[in-house]
C-alpha cells in the first residue's frame, strides 16, 4: 500500500524540482466560465508511474464547484484509495490497510504541495490547464533544472482540443509520471458530494 500512496502523491509533488521545459496552452474557457456553465464534472483516467514507484492505478472522479472526489483502483480492479480534494486540504483513505491520512500528514511528508496544489488538480480534471508560472518562479534558485513538465491536448468525447494528460519526468531522481484523462463529462446534474465525503469515514 505504500506503493499506492507513493504513486498517488507523486501527482502532488511532481513539480517540486525546478522546471526547464513547461508547455503552456490554455483552454478556450476559463475555470470560472466552466463553473458558470456547468454544475459538475466527472470522468475516468489512468496514472502510470515509473522510478521510485512503479505501477499503474486507474481512477474515477467527480467534481463539483471547488471540490473533487477520487476513487483509485489497481489494475485487477481492486479499490485501493479514496481521495477528497477541497480548495485548501487533501484527505486520503487507504481502503486496504484501513488507514486515514489528513492534510497535515500529507503536507508534512510532501512539503511542495504549493507547486501543484489542490486547486490546480481540480482545474486539471475540469479540463483547464493550471497556471504554474508564478509558482515555478518561486522555486529555490539553487535547484538544478531537472524536471520536464508537459500538458497535452487531444480530442476527447465531443471536445476537439481537450486537456487530457500531464507528463513529468525528473532527471535527477529518474522518476516519471503520466496522468491521462480517458473520459470527461461536464453537466448540469447536481452531485451529492456529502454522500461521497461519507465514504471516507471509517
pLDDT tens readout for residues 53-80: 678 899 999 999 889 999 999 888 889 8
Query: What is the average pLDDT across 172-181?
Result: 82
Residue 53 or 180, more confident: 180
pLDDT band at 10 (very low <50, low <70, confident <90, very high): low
For the chain, the domain total comes to 1
Query: What is the average pLDDT across 133-151?
Result: 64
For a pLDDT cut of 70, what percent of the chain falls above it? 72
Angstrom distance (rounded) from CA 168 to CA 160: 24
For residue 133, the SS3 value is helix
Q: What is the pLDDT at residue 13?
A: 43
Residue 84 or 176, more confident: 84
Angstrom distance (rounded) from CA 125 to CA 119: 10
Supply 60's cell numbers: 474515477
Angstrom distance (rounded) from CA 92 to CA 21: 31
Candidates 12, 135, 150, 4; CA nearest to 68 is: 12
For residue 162, the SS3 value is strand
- Residues 90-118 have pLDDT tens digits of 888 888 888 888 877 766 655 445 567 88
> Please, are residues 130 and 10 in contact by the beta-carbon 8 Å criterion?
no
Residue 115 or 200, more confident: 200
Structural domain including 168 reads 2-198
Q: What is the pLDDT at residue 23?
A: 42
Q: Which CATH number covers residue 10?
A: 2.50.20.10
Question: Taking 90 as the threshold, does the pLDDT of residue 164 lie above it?
Answer: yes
Supply 8's cell numbers: 498517488
Cβ density class 132-150: b for 16+ within 10 Å, e for less: beebeeebeeeeeeebbbe
Residue 14 or 39, more confident: 39
For a pLDDT cut of 90, what percent of the chain falls above it? 32
Supply 41's cell numbers: 464534472
CA distances from residue 129 to 13, 191, 195 in whole angstroms, order as listed: 17, 23, 28
- Within 10 angstroms of residue 29's Cβ, the number of other Cβ atoms is 15
DSSP 100: E
Amino acid at each position: 500500500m505504500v506503493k499506492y500512496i507513493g504513486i498517488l502523491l507523486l501527482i502532488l509533488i511532481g513539480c517540486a524540482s525546478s522546471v526547464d521545459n513547461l508547455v503552456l496552452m490554455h483552454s478556450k474557457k476559463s475555470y470560472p466560465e466552466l463553473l458558470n456553465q456547468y454544475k459538475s464534472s466527472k470522468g475516468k483516467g489512468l496514472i502510470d508511474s515509473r522510478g521510485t514507484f512503479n505501477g499503474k492505478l486507474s481512477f474515477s472522479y467527480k467534481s463539483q464547484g471547488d471540490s473533487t472526489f477520487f476513487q483509485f483502483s489497481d489494475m485487477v480492479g481492486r479499490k485501493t484509495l479514496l481521495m477528497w480534494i477541497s480548495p485548501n486540504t487533501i484527505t486520503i483513505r487507504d481502503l486496504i490497510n484501513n488507514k486515514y491520512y489528513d492534510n497535515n500528514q500529507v503536507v508534512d511528508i510532501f512539503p511542495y504541495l504549493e507547486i501543484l496544489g489542490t486547486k490546480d488538480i481540480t482545474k486539471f480534471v475540469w479540463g483547464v490547464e493550471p497556471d504554474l508560472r508564478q509558482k515555478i518562479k518561486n522555486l529555490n534558485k539553487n535547484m538544478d533544472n531537472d524536471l520536464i513538465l508537459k500538458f497535452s491536448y487531444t480530442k476527447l468525447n465531443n471536445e476537439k482540443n481537450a486537456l487530457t494528460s500531464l507528463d513529468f519526468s525528473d532527471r535527477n531522481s529518474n522518476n516519471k509520471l503520466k496522468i491521462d484523462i480517458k473520459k470527461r463529462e461536464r453537466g448540469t446534474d447536481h452531485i451529492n458530494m456529502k454522500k461521497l465525503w461519507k465514504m471516507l469515514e471509517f
